Amino acid sequence: WSRIKIRMSFFADVPKAPPDPLLSITGRFKADSRPNKYDLGIGVLRRTDNTSHEFETVKTAAKSVAPSCFYPHPGGDDKFVSLMAELVFGTSSLPPRVMGVQTVGGSGALRVCAELLVSQGITTMMLPDPSWANHKPLLGGGGLKVLDYRYFKQDTHTVDIDGMLADIQACPPKTAIMFQVAAHNPTGVDITDEQWDKILDLMKSRRDLFPVFDSAYQGLARGLNEDIQIVRKFFDAGLEFAVCSSCSKNFGLYGERVGSFFVACETPEIASCVDSRCKLKIRHNYSVPPLFGAKIVSAILSDPELRKKWEQELAETRSTLNRAHSAFAQALAKGGLHSKFSAPRFGLFTQLYLNEQQVLSLETDHACYVAPGGRVNVSSLDEQAAANVATAVVQVLKSS
């Protein structure tokens, strides 16, 4: 028998993945030669000159962090975890009934959370409708079935608290319920304190449901403590829950992938077992998290002077975002749009609910690059830029 060598690829039939509708915006924006253009798509904190927002305290702290020439354990840097627990729970260290690990960004925390829940027979998670575009594939890839609960009322651009409570109440036992704690992505419309109290009362009566808090923007909505207060209320109520936290936005460490994952358990003994199980899942996934960014955060939070300066920078950034939201809302109102577009917003985003043709028109006719559905990152907008973008939005809406 003669063997015929056939040159072929094992991957010849792999279909090309479609371009990411969000990440592809940057390429089109850079290729646009128009002088007055606005990149409002990618969810990155920016300055008004459209450069990435860099915290001076982060650059200072980075100078003191040496490369790590050893493996950490799968749970990452213990000092970082303890300091992040202080930010989240308001305690001086990790509470006894809480386990915590460092993760590869907030996304890594969400994935570890999904795999942990599935291993415990919690196979469905409810998300707010709408939510971050990557929530469903990220959590679904971890084995969860992902469904929606009502969150946003498009006629008023406010939280649909009655619909939300009804949908959560209708959930079967052992369902996970995700809440974004502050600066809701993509709408910018947050749950009020009064509404949070209603949610807490419901969850105290439905202890067969498991709350998961996604904290991606702590300090960028109302305040460092205000934005996480509901987590502390759940903890004081003795509930079990999980927190997925990110340092990408409030420290500007997008590329360093710094996150943490906490689970508040009924007892310290249970927390210890959950801790061991999470570390095993991390070991079997990405082995260990990177240390450089985590050590930068630790350096800032453990140094009183640096921490004070960081909190000042965060407050200034928060004020800038609030001014951008206000300027954009006022400009939209001046253009004659419905008052719902002026409803209070927090954080990086506002959602205009534009159709595909309207989004395309903003891009091609007005050089305004927004995310699918009309999500606008306002962080780079000063008053003049807000007015220019608002004028474009008004023209597109009134012409379609």
Task: Report yes or no: 181 and 191 within 8 Å, Cβ to Cβ.
Answer: no
CA of 53: how far to CAs of 47, 313, 379, in Å?
5, 11, 9
- For 157, phi and psi rounded to 5 degrees? 55, 45
Task: Give buried/exposed letters for 77-93 (b at 16+ CB in 10 A, else e).
Answer: bebbbbbbbebbbeeee
Active site (catalytic) residues = 132, 214, 249
Token pair recorded at residue 180:
């974004």
Please tell me the distance from the alpha carbon of residue 151 to that of residue 128, in angstroms, as a whole number.
Answer: 5
Token pair recorded at residue 3:
């063997």
Token pair recorded at residue 133:
């575009």
Nearest to 99 by CA among 107, 112, 111: 112
CA of 60: how far to CAs of 53, 229, 259, 274, in Å?
15, 29, 20, 36
Backbone CA torsion sign across 169, 175, 181, 185: negative
In 137-208 the beta strands, taken as DSSP E runs, fall at 145-150, 152-153, 158-159, 175-180
The one-letter code for the residue type at 198 is K
**Other CB atoms within 10 Å distance of the CB of residue 333:** 15
- Return the residue matching tokens 């419309």: 189
Task: Give buried/exposed letters for 158-191 (b at 16+ CB in 10 A, else e).
Answer: bbbbeebbebbeebeeebbbbbbbbbbbbbbbbb
